[in-house]
Amino acid sequence: MVTIDLSGKHALVMGVANHRSLTWAIAQQLHHAGARVCLTYANERLKPMVEELAGHLHGSLVLECDVTQDRTIHAVARRLTRDWGSLEVLVHGIAYANKEDLEGKFVATSRTGFQLALEVSAFSFLNVSHHMLPLLEKNGASLLTLSYLAAERAVPNYNVMGSAKAVLEQSVRQLAWELGARGIRVNAVSAGPVSTLAARGIHGFLSMQRHHAEKAPLRRNITKEEVGKAALFLLSDLASGITGEILYVDAGYHVMGV
């Protein structure tokens, strides 16, 4: 039986908000596989919840990181350099858009709203990867981000977040090419609808879930645990020949034409 052993490896997981987060499911899988995990939180409001969750991951770190502020990214890189010296896994699950830009008409998206959504949800993956590169290239690392089908299809009410996911997926491919020579792999998981804090901000999310379960080949929705296990595979040596890939974990929904 093949098992995944990440003992001695270090994983930075960004984007955990609560126990329903897909990044939390990924962090748990990484921990169970033996990796040391560092969770980040964006602001003081999220700090208590992230610290509580980190208490379930023995030996984990919890650090502040607001990806709109380079100084906090620098601070995380300095701390991980001091405490760990290398970084073999980077998980990016950060996304945000103004509520009005998700509930209103896409054509009416504000300039500042568009810029904010792309900065937080897409540019942050590129920017964090750049700041962590000295750590990532030491042993050859695996990077992972989270996307959604709206990156390539029109999804009602997803609006500017679909634009951000499209940029994010292009970033996966471009980074895979650029960082491959350094032994760094870059992939994404495109997950089906899961009831997370971020997903609840999408107007009509429950209807979206019901439709997905009716139309997907497996006739059901996915679980966050399934996302966690798929991510663990991509982040492990079992996927050593895979980079630049968008792996769909959506019960097959993306293959359907109607």
For the record, the structure tokens of 164 come out as: 């951000």
3 part of a folded domain:
no
Q: Please give the average per-residue pLDDT across 42-54, as a whole number.
A: 96
19 part of a folded domain:
yes
255 part of a folded domain:
no
220 part of a folded domain:
yes
Whether 148 is catalytic: yes
Choice among 41, 96, 148, 253 that is catalytic: 148
1 part of a folded domain:
no
Whether 158 is catalytic: yes
Model-level pTM? 0.94
pLDDT tens for residues 129-156? 999 999 999 999 999 999 999 999 999 8
Choice among 41, 96, 158, 253 that is catalytic: 158
pLDDT tens for residues 179-201? 999 999 999 999 998 866 565 55
190 SS3 class: strand
In the chain, the number of structural domains is 1
d(CA 135, CA 90): 10
pLDDT tens for residues 88-125? 999 999 999 999 999 889 999 999 999 999 999 999 99
Domain that holds residue 163: 10-250
DSSP-assigned beta bridge partners for residue 38: 12, 61
pLDDT tens for residues 239-252? 999 999 999 999 99
258 part of a folded domain:
no
Residue among 210, 88, 76, 216 at smallest CA distance from 140? 88
Mean pLDDT of the chain: 94
| CA of residue 253 relative to chain centroid, distance | 20
Provide the CATH number for the domain around residue 103: 3.40.50.720
Q: Please give the average per-residue pLDDT across 40-53, as a whole number.
A: 96
202 part of a folded domain:
yes
CA dihedral 111, 206, 165, 145 (to 10 degrees): 130
4 part of a folded domain:
no
